[in-house]
Amino acid sequence: MKPAPFDYVDPRTVDEALDHLSRHGDEAKVLAGGQSLAPMLNFRLARPAVLVDINRVAGLDGVTESSGALRVGALVRQRQLERTLDRRFPLLTAGLGLVGHTAIRVRGTVGGSIAHADPAAELPALLACYDGVVVTRGRRGERSIAAAEFFLGPLMTALAADELLVETRWPVPTPGTGWGLHEVARRHGDFALVGAAALVTLSDGKVARARVAVFGCGATPTLAAVEAALAGCAPTTALIDEAARTAASALDPPADLHASVEYRRRVARTLMVRALSDAVGRAAP
Amino acid sequence: MGAKYFGAAVRRREDPRFLRGEGRFLDDVRVAGLLHVAFLRSPYAHAMIRAIRTERARAAPGVVAVFTFADLESWMKPLPLFGAPPPGLAAAIAFEIRQAPQFALCRDRARYVGEIVAMVVAESRARAEDAAEAIEVDWEPRSVVTDMRQAAEPGTPLVHEAWGTNVGVGFTHAIGDVEAAFARADLVMSETFHIQRYVGMPLESRGAVAVWDRRDGTLTTWNSTQVSHFVQQGLAGALGLPHHKVRVIAPDLGGGFGTKASGYPEDHLVPIAAIVLNRPVKWVEDRREHMMSAAHARHQVHAISLAAQRDGTIVGLRDRIWLDLGAYNVWGIVLPYNTVAHLIGPHRIANMRVDVQAVTTHKTPNAPYRGAGRPETVFAMDRAVDCLARELRIDPAEIRRRNYIRSDELPYDFGMPYRDGNPLVYDSGDFPAALEAALKAADYDEFRRDQPALRARSIFRGIGISGYVEGTAIGPFEGATVKVDLGGRVLVATGAVNSGQGHETSFAQVCADALDVPLEHVTVVGGDTATVPFGVGTFASRSGVTAGNSIADACQQVRAKLVKAAAALLEAAPGDIEIEDGQAFVRGVRASAVPLARVVQASIPTFARPGVASPDFEATAYHHVPTVTFASAVHVARVEVDVGTGHVTLLRYVVAHDCGKVINPLIVEGQVHGGVAQGVGGALYEEMVYDEQGQLLTGSLMDYLVPTAMELPPLETVHLEFPSPRNPLGMKGLGEGGAISPPAAIANAIEDALEPFGVRITATPVSPARLLALLHETA
């Protein structure tokens, strides 16, 4: 389990990194925390000609806030974000706690997890649930891509081969927004078989906004179509159950060693109900 | 001999170096000029090799050599095979046995994914792996059989064509009159149970380093093995070297579990490369290799029937058993007969008939792993007992009370042989007492009282019981050498390899008591063939009993020599000499006390005088055990099932066990915990999965799920101590026990939790997906 031979570069600036990416295109792979890439290299499942190590690139490791969103630099470690988030981001905090184990989160980056786009991972689904944005830089300039448009398939994103993910933006939820997060993983720290994250905002006891992202249930994190069913209504148990049932039937989950299509669809429904119920329970009425 | 240390909770002396990260494992063995090996392994489960082209690989950067079977033909001897029935067993049972030799490199055919096709030796492991990719093989895939029951039927693809069948071991065995028992029973409960393929998965993988000294024709090889003397014997035979010129050293081991007690191609290939190239060579198995080429384990099907009276008394047992051997029958009757010898367990069942077929399939060869047939057979039996209890509406605890052999029935003679050919007779223990102790510790009655109210609130909790009686510490012996040095300090060397069990501590406790010296005066080494002439190794829960008693025997001999020398030194009769706390003195005259160092030094001749006695303070003993000792335990698991997701949470886990006299309760408890952890893996998580083409689908630890500390429940251990009459120290084996009962206890608990749904668990691991599917089938 040694990687196939590759060249290695460690640029110090984004522009330098972009030079390498534009020169090598598909032949290059960006190394950040390496928590997914390094095993793929060792299994020789990934055989890049060039590894562009961005760990020494300046300016990508900050967490700032502007225009109502948290701006998280691509190199911010998952553990670092977990420890700096305040009480306005309980869902993201809880979600980060489910990413691998502490040792993995100390190395693993937020940007890396988003760019890797594993459909069973927590962070892509959370970014979708928050209605977040991915910021990329390329030779042609900067792009802001909504999470819903960023994830295209398993390990596939809208990121071009000569672009670098430089930041993710996480909108600060409206005060009083309730949250819920449930996942089934075989073991603590494993990728989820199925998971559901929910953010619900109530107004006069009625649903003003409800977003549910399901992960492990399709080619990308899936925004479940629950909002239409719930908006403007009092979120009763029956209504939540019906919304989850309808949303689950629209899912197209994969089968693998650990769970069947049927299992994932059933459990997605259960977890959507639980996540929504928690979110409603936590939301300010 | 005083019992100052025996039984004391001495902290493990080996732990400081492990906790500091200073363990010396196989990969830490560094020798100047090392070359590194990578293997090309078969990508097919069954295929003929039509041609191998190695030119590109040989020309690759850093490559020193590439070897195929043809290149090493004169070195290729069949790998060792084990498990011929000993005479007592062969006399009682007619075994049909077929064993085919495996060569270290595929000759013209591969029989499982991972079998070695070629060996690349290069200046670095990375270079070797690059070159291995450049080897071209013309494969001709053949048909494959992966299902053990299908493999047992005529007309399926054959793993070894010369056999004309895939059955590697077949036999039928009966005690009592099973037909009559079934005829008179009130009820017969039948079910088929499947135990998956799961494995030891030591944290440290296998590996070997070999150094050939051409000057004197000496081979030194470090091997991450539990059985260094077996490896030595295999190498001496295969390489045609005198035994004393083959030194095998097992360094610190990061776990063994039986996985490292099998004979492997790499044990031979690495030394062969070192000799042929006259360079030191190293190979460290990576995890991907480990998944496909280290021995697999478990994997049985039991079609079992229990015949019972209405009061729950079990009067008869029938079981048709299939075992999946993988591609080679390396271990003969060991696993099949272990399975049979432990089927009845603590139950009083006088009538039994078993029909056993152990079959080869196109998968990685199996070997004994912690429990070695017992977890499988106990799963079948204890699940069947629970199914019977449910049909009879008798509580699972109560049906066991009615069937467990009482202590006043011991010694209990089954009227059949054990695997070592000696009569299967339980020596000591108290199974009902273990049952009650475990139930009490698990608050069984309280749990049953609360269960209905919890169910009413849709909280589904269950409790499950499993008991076993385990033949441990199989002989025939272990070697131990004890010697006192010039400073009066003691070195103990044994063939028993320390693969994590704390030998350096517990054996020092045995020695310190037997010689009556301070514990800190004793050093223990294991697994170096240069230190003790004959040895067996660590497996089968045997080292405590076999090495422990050999150490005690050797100490008695050394003690007699010390007494004799001290008598000469102190000018007293040997009968008047006492040794205490590392001092020798004349009985009643404390002032005469001299340290043992003085006794040794006075025995060494000087220019002025001969010694007071021969300075031979060394002895080697090979304690022979008459047969196995029977350890036993009852496990109780408490679980909660999330019926919305199928997820099982382990709430509590209790083990009430008897391993005879305990040397060190800390180590015993640690052993139980480790065993239970692996049993939990078998119950809920671990499975080696193949597809129908014989491709291994669980190629990494992302797919093959070993439980971590996070998955384990609080463990409670109740120690019952019933000394064995079969060895002077009264000990029984302990290493494997913890791993035996968890699959049965946990499955029983899950079924108990889901009793309102009528779910029946017939297979492990009980994954969320399988459990939810069962819940929906019965809904």
Inter-residue contact B585 to B593 (CB < 8 Å):
yes
CA dist., res. B732 & res. B736, Å (int): 11
Among candidate residues B81, B105, B77, the one with its CA nearest the CA of residue B241: B77
Instruction: Encode pLDDT of B208-253 as tens digits.
Output: 999 999 999 999 999 999 999 999 999 999 999 999 999 999 999 9
Q: What is the pLDDT of residues B562-593, one digit of tens each?
A: 999 999 999 999 999 999 999 999 999 999 99
Residue with tokens 């002989």: B475
* CATH code, domain carrying A43: 3.30.43.10
Query: Which residues on adjacent β-strands are paired with residue B690?
Result: B696
Contact: B710, A187; criterion CB under 8 Å = yes
For residues B230-265, one letter each, b for 16 or more C-beta atoms within 10 angstroms of the residue's C-beta and e for the rest, the string is bbbbbbbebbebeeeebbbbbbbbbbbbbbbbbbbb
One domain for residues A106 and A137? yes
pTM flag (> 0.90):
yes
| Residue among A184, A189, A191 whose CB faces B768 most closely | A184
In chain B, CATH 3.30.365.10 covers 207-284, 298-474+626-778, 476-624
Question: A103 lies in a domain?
Answer: yes
Asked whether the predicted pLDDT for residue B301 surpasses 80, the reply is: yes
The dihedral over CA atoms of B357, B359, B365, B368, expressed in degrees to the nearest 10, equals 0
List C-alpha distances in Å: B271 to B14, B129, B239: 29, 19, 9
- Per-residue pLDDT, averaged over A225-246, amounts to 94
- Average pLDDT, integer, range B187-198: 98
Q: How far apart are CA A116 and CA A153, in angstroms?
A: 11
Question: Residues B200, B205, B206, B211: what is their CA dihedral angle, to the nearest 10 degrees?
Answer: -160
* Predicted pLDDT at B2: 58
Minimum distance, in Å, between the CA of residue B711 and any CA atom of chain A: 7
Share of chain B above pLDDT 70, in %: 100
- Which of 3.40.1010.20, 3.30.365.10, 3.30.2090.10, 3.20.20.70 is the CATH number of B298-474+626-778? 3.30.365.10
Looking at A171, A201, A227, the residue that finishes a domain is A171
Note the pLDDT of residue A276: 98
- Considering the domain architecture, whether residues A227 and A153 belong to the same structural domain is answered as no
Q: Which residues of chain A are within 8 Å of residue B703 when distances are taken between CB atoms?
A: 257
Judge whether A58 lies within some domain. Answer: no
A120 shares its domain with A192 = no
Same domain, A242 and A263: yes
Give me the pLDDT at residue B778, please: 84
CA dist A216 → A82, A197, A243, B689 (Å): 22, 12, 19, 21
Local structure of B13: helix, strand or coil: coil
Please check whether residues A161 and A205 belong to one and the same domain.
no
SS3 call for B621: strand
Size of interface A-B (CB pairs under 8 A): 69
Both structure tokens of B220: 């030194």
Per-residue pLDDT tens digits for A2-43: 999 999 999 999 999 999 999 999 999 999 999 999 999 999
**Is the same domain home to A153 and A67?**
yes
Which of B291, B684, B770, B772 is the best residue to mutate to test the A interface, defined by the most A CB atoms within 10 Å of its own CB? B772
Whether residue A68 sits in one domain with residue A37: no
- Please tell me the CATH code under which domain B207-284 is placed: 3.30.365.10
- The fold adopted by the segment(s) B476-624 is Aldehyde Oxidoreductase; domain 4 (3.30.365)
CB-CB contact of B732 with B630 (8 Å): yes
Pick the last residue of a domain from A143, A171, A199.
Answer: A171
Encoded tokens for A208? 């003003």
Tokens 């499950």 sit at which residue?
Answer: B464
To the nearest whole percent, how much of chain A has pLDDT over 90? 98
Beta carbons of A217 and A124 less than 8 angstroms apart: no
CB distance A2–B129 less than 8 Å?
A: yes
Same-domain pairing of A24 and A72: no
Tell whether B711 lies on the interface with A, counting CB pairs under 8 A.
yes
Q: Which of B115, B135, B112 is nearest to B59 (CA)?
A: B135
Number of Cβ within 10 Å of residue A98's Cβ equals 22
User: CB A1 to CB B288 under 8 A?
Assistant: yes
Which residues of A fall within a CB distance of 8 Å from B702? Answer: 190-191
Amino acid at B470: E
Chain B contact for A1 (CB, 8 A cutoff): yes
Question: B778: helix, coil or strand?
Answer: helix
Neighboring chain A residues of B646 at a CB cutoff of 8 Å? 184, 263, 267
3-state secondary structure of A40: helix
User: Which residues in chain A are contacts of B680 at CB distance < 8 A?
Assistant: none
Please indicate, yes or no, whether residues A263 and A246 belong to a single structural domain of this protein.
Answer: yes
Q: A87 and A155, same structural domain? A: yes
Q: Which of B348, B344, B289, B346 is nearest to B318 (CA)?
A: B344
Both structure tokens of A26: 């598909």
Name the residue among B457, B467, B455, B456 with its Cα closest to residue B753.
Answer: B455
Amino acid at A248: A
pLDDT in tens, B60-100: 999 999 999 999 999 999 998 999 999 999 999 999 999 99
Length of chain A: 285
In this prediction, residue A155 carries a pLDDT of 95
Give the distance from residue B122's alpha carbon to the nearest chain A alpha carbon, in angstroms. Answer: 13
- Rounded to 5 degrees, φ, ψ at B259 are -55, -35
Confidence of residue B418 (pLDDT cuts 50, 70, 90): very high
- For the record, the structure tokens of B143 come out as 């048909």
Q: What is the mean pLDDT of chain B?
A: 97
Within this chain, do residues A214 and A245 fall inside the same structural domain, yes or no? yes
B740: left (phi over 0), alpha (psi -120 to 50) or beta: alpha
| ipTM entry | 0.96
Domain coverage including residue A119: 63-171
Q: What CATH number should be reported for the domain holding residue A184?
A: 3.30.390.50
The verdict on A143 and A74 lying in the same domain is: yes
Name which of A3, A187, A257 is nearest B698 (Cβ-Cβ): A257
Say whether residue B288 is in contact with chain A using an 8 A CB cutoff.
yes
User: Using CB atoms, which residue from A187, A257, A259 is nearest to B703?
Assistant: A257
Name every chain B residue with its beta carbon within 8 A of the beta carbon of A271. Answer: 645
β-pairing, A50-53 vs B490-494, is unpaired
Helix (H, G, I), strand (E, B) or coil at B631: strand
Are residues A187 and B708, on separate chains, in Cβ contact within 8 Å?
A: yes
Residue pLDDT, tens place only, A47-89: 999 999 999 999 999 999 999 999 999 999 999 999 999 999 9
